Amino acid sequence: MIEFRTKFDESLTKAVNKRGILRLWWLLLIFVVLFAVLGAIDIATGEIWLGTFYLIVAALFIPFVLLLTFIFQKSLNKSMSIMSGETEAYYAFTEDGVTAEIKKGSEYEDSIKATYSFIYKGVETKTHYLLYISKAQCIVIPKSDIINGSLEELNSILAQRLGNKFKGR
């Protein structure tokens, strides 16, 4: 049995957002290049003001996207009352399935026991496991919060149970 005990807090959403942005870096780069090219063309054709505007947009595009992502996620996190440093999460993985328990004092308690078929896909990052239960919902487990078993054991179970739906490092 592999077990994790962690906090259900904002650090988990940061891990998912980081992966999402890293997966879309090429799209962000296309927009930066597009704005830069438009700026260079406009400057070359005498439209200095418009060209300068496009170059500024190119320089600020990625920071702007990161800021919007941060603001949007912060707003979502605030709307989820159980997401706090007071909320504890426990996850156990066996050959047969997953057990998860989330508890925030006496305010909230939830538990699930499921087979691996409920996982849409699993991803191992450098610091976390991301277990997607749909395209938009994800269970995030920090590797550093393991309390029993080993990461190698978990990788083996996930690879065996999820097959090509699991992407290990």
Over residues 53-101, the pLDDT tens digits come to 999 999 999 999 999 999 998 898 888 888 888 899 999 999 999 999 9
Instruction: Taking residues 101-117, report their average pLDDT.
Output: 94
What is the extent of the structural domain holding 33?
Answer: 16-79
Q: Give percent above pLDDT 90 in the chain.
A: 76
Number of domains the chain is built from? 2
The pLDDT value given to residue 58: 97
Instruction: Taking residues 126-140, report their average pLDDT.
Output: 93
Q: SS3 letters for 136-165?
A: CCEEEEEHHHEEECCHHHHHHHHHHHHHHH
Chain mean pLDDT for the chain: 93
The pLDDT value given to residue 13: 86
| β-pairing verdict for 128-132 and 138-142 | antiparallel
Q: Are residues 96 and 160 in the same domain?
A: yes
Q: Are residues 120 and 150 in the same domain?
A: yes
CATH code assigned at 126: 2.30.29.30
Query: Residue 120's closest CA among 83, 91, 161, 151?
Result: 161
The pLDDT value given to residue 14: 86
Please say if the pLDDT value at position 33 is more than 90: yes
Q: Are residues 90 and 104 in the same domain?
A: yes
Final residue of a domain: which of 39, 58, 79? 79
Q: Are residues 74 and 136 in the same domain?
A: no
Please say if the pLDDT value at position 19 is more than 90: no
Q: Are residues 140 and 66 in the same domain?
A: no
The pLDDT value given to residue 55: 96
Q: Are residues 140 and 155 in the same domain?
A: yes
Please say if the pLDDT value at position 21 is more than 90: no
The pLDDT value given to residue 91: 97
Which of 8-17, 46-55, 91-100, 105-114 comes out lowest in average pLDDT? 8-17
Q: Are residues 162 and 110 in the same domain?
A: yes
User: What pLDDT band is residue 159 in, cutting at 50, 70 and 90?
Assistant: very high
Final residue of a domain: which of 25, 47, 79? 79
Q: What is the DSSP letter of 143?
A: G
Identity of the residue numbered 58: A
Final residue of a domain: which of 26, 61, 79? 79
Number of Cβ within 10 Å of residue 8's Cβ equals 20
Q: Are residues 75 and 89 in the same domain?
A: no
Residues 104, 132, 76, 61, CA torsion sign: positive
Q: Are residues 72 and 30 in the same domain?
A: yes
